[in-house]
Amino acid sequence: MSGFIGDWHALAILFVAGVIPNQIWRMLGLWFGGGIDENSELLVWVRAVATAILAGIIAQIVVQPPGALASVPDWLRYGAVAAGFVAFMLARKSIFAGVIVGEIVMLSGKYWLG
Amino acid sequence: MALPPLDSPQWQTSFRAFLWGARSIGATVLTLVLFATYLGIGALAHDSGFSLGWTLASTAFVWAGPAQIIVITTLGSGATVLQSAIAVTVSAIRLFPMVVSVLPLMRTEDTKRRHLILVAHLTAVTLWVECYRFLPQVPRNRRIAFIHGLGLGLVSVCLIANTIGYTLAANLTPLLAAGMLMLTPLAFLFSTARNCRELADVIALVLGLLLFPLAALLNSGVDILVSGVVAGTIAYGVHRARAGIVRARA
């Protein structure tokens, strides 16, 4: 880590790749929001694509894990997600139950493997 | 925690309404989910080689977990700025309907557009959900101040979580660091699953998970966009086909 800010170039990239593409939609909503039907067909498609992109991101972190997560075997990461999902459903869609059970399965599995 | 009744003197000033909003972060379990998510984002940013200042700036100025994770994972794995920007643009479209649906809840006759800029910036899935829950209990002319308090309170919680996650990732044992990185996919998977309103959303989520590993074989640099657009469009097609069947029966 080189300092708190690090490299100014990276901060400029954050604005171009992250801040502007994200904020543009909020500001469009603020400016042109009045006349759009929240349940229009176009927005159903947009929501489906946005959900699938988010699902892709989740899959990417689990399938091609970054940093320390790469030291956990594939089957254990997939198993932890599956166990978390079962807990999520059993606990009447509790996000917390899903996260806790997924974490416990992965951490205890990894600890046990050494 | 209960909010004061609508006619209470507690609502007489905007400042008090702001404080009630900030205090309301303690009244929702979603604050804990956000905390866990941003703990994970802090750890992810650390392991992907970004600075702490960069991470905090992304939380303050982007303020959308999925977009932040897209920027961190795509840039961290060598995508170009343009590829990241396209993926973020598509993922952020969902903010548009959220802003559109939230602003009428707090508009009054005297409200100017500039009064709503900060509310629009603070709008993300958590605030959007909480607006429907809290705002009926807040007098209309104090709602903007209340949401400023609630939104800035949530941002503060996330900045603290980022700092803790980032610092811990640098110092934890590999086991616990792996556990922290795992928080992000788990928290996002289950909060997305919870937000699925229609069959199209469920299909988009499941297909999006399954198609990514296939799209990754293409190694196009925009794998996430490819799998997202394909899975989302199939889900929309199923939605249309079902609507057609329902109409044909009627």
Name the residue among A15, A21, A95 with its Cβ closest to that of B190. A95
Shortest distance between the Cα of B9 and any Cα of chain A, in A, equals 31
Whole-number pLDDT of residue A36: 58
- Give the C-alpha distances (Å, rounded to integers) separating A72 from A23, A64, A80, B42, B48: 36, 11, 11, 20, 17
Over 90: is that where the pLDDT of B130 sits?
no
Is the pLDDT higher at B14 or at A114?
Answer: B14
Whole-number pLDDT of residue A1: 43
User: Which of B41, B63, B91, B101 to mutate against chain A (most A CBs within 10 Å)?
Assistant: B91
- Segments of chain A with pLDDT less than 70: 1-2, 33-39
Whole-number pLDDT of residue B208: 94
Q: How far apart are the first and last CA of chain A?
A: 29
Cα separation, B1 vs B172, whole angstroms? 35
Chain A contacts of B179, Cβ < 8 Å? 103, 106-107
pLDDT band at B16; cut points 50, 70, 90: very high
Tokens of B48: 């992907």
Cα separation, B167 vs B184, whole angstroms? 16
Interface of B with A in 21-50 (CB under 8 A): 29, 32-33, 36, 43-44, 46-48, 50
Predicted TM-score of the model (pTM): 0.80
Interface predicted TM-score of the whole assembly (ipTM), two decimals:
0.84
Is B113 within 8 Å of A31 when comparing Cβ atoms? yes
Is B190 within 8 Å of A98 when comparing Cβ atoms? yes
| pLDDT > 70 fraction of chain B, expressed in percent and rounded | 99
Dump pLDDT digits (tens) for B160-172: 999 999 999 888 8
Dump pLDDT digits (tens) for B66-103: 889 889 988 887 778 998 898 888 878 878 877 887 88
Name the residue among B205, B210, B212 with its Cβ closest to that of A60. B212
Cα separation, B122 vs B49, whole angstroms? 27
CB proximity B174 to A under 8 Å? yes
Over 90: is that where the pLDDT of B198 sits?
no
pLDDT band at B62; cut points 50, 70, 90: very high
Give buried/exposed letters for B185-203 (b at 16+ CB in 10 A, else e): bbbbbbbbbebbeeebbbb
Cα separation, A87 vs B81, whole angstroms? 38
- Find the helix or strand (DSSP H, E) in which B163 lies: helix B143-171
Over 50: is that where the pLDDT of B228 sits?
yes
Mean pLDDT confidence for B127-146: 90
